[in-house]
Amino acid sequence: MAVERTLILAKGDALVRGLVGEILARYERRGYTILGLKLMQVSRDQAQRHYAEHEGKPFFAGLVDYITATPVVALVVEGHDAIEGCRATNGATNPIKATPGTVRGDFGQTVGRNLVHASDSPAAAEREVAIFFHDAELFTRAHALAAWLAE
């Protein structure tokens, strides 16, 4: 089991529908640690870099428009096999095919409004975390524990 970091985005539909707390709680209940968390407006530049592998595809513009239309909650999660575990927590991209008990299976409505994003590989996670977070915005598990114990 490798300890990994991954980027999670609770997209605009999660925010508008009041599901962010429930979504975050699911990652925490699985034992993952949140190292960074922020409510933010995604810039077009960030969106284009985030979805760079889809550039030139017919749906690219729609992805960029959607993620920049409303604020998102961005977080960095760490834990054993966090990439695969968070993606399993999210469920299949198409909510109709997502297993009940997953975020998308319980709350998703359409492929275009599927609530969350999670990095799909260690390389993608490293690239995506750097798009949305500066190193100074991330805390380690040890740092958080030391600060808590010092009080």
Name the active-site residue from 80, 117, 134, 143. 117
| Catalytic residue flag (residue 50) | no
Nearest to 102 by CA among 112, 115, 113, 111: 115
Q: How far is CA 46 from CA 67, 127, 147, in A?
A: 10, 11, 32
User: Are 89 and 8 a contacting pair, CB within 8 Å?
Assistant: no
Distance CA 66, CA 149 (A): 42
Q: Please list the alpha-helical segments (H only) found in the chain.
A: 12-16, 20-29, 44-50, 60-69, 82-90, 103-107, 122-132, 141-150
Q: Which residues are catalytic?
A: 117
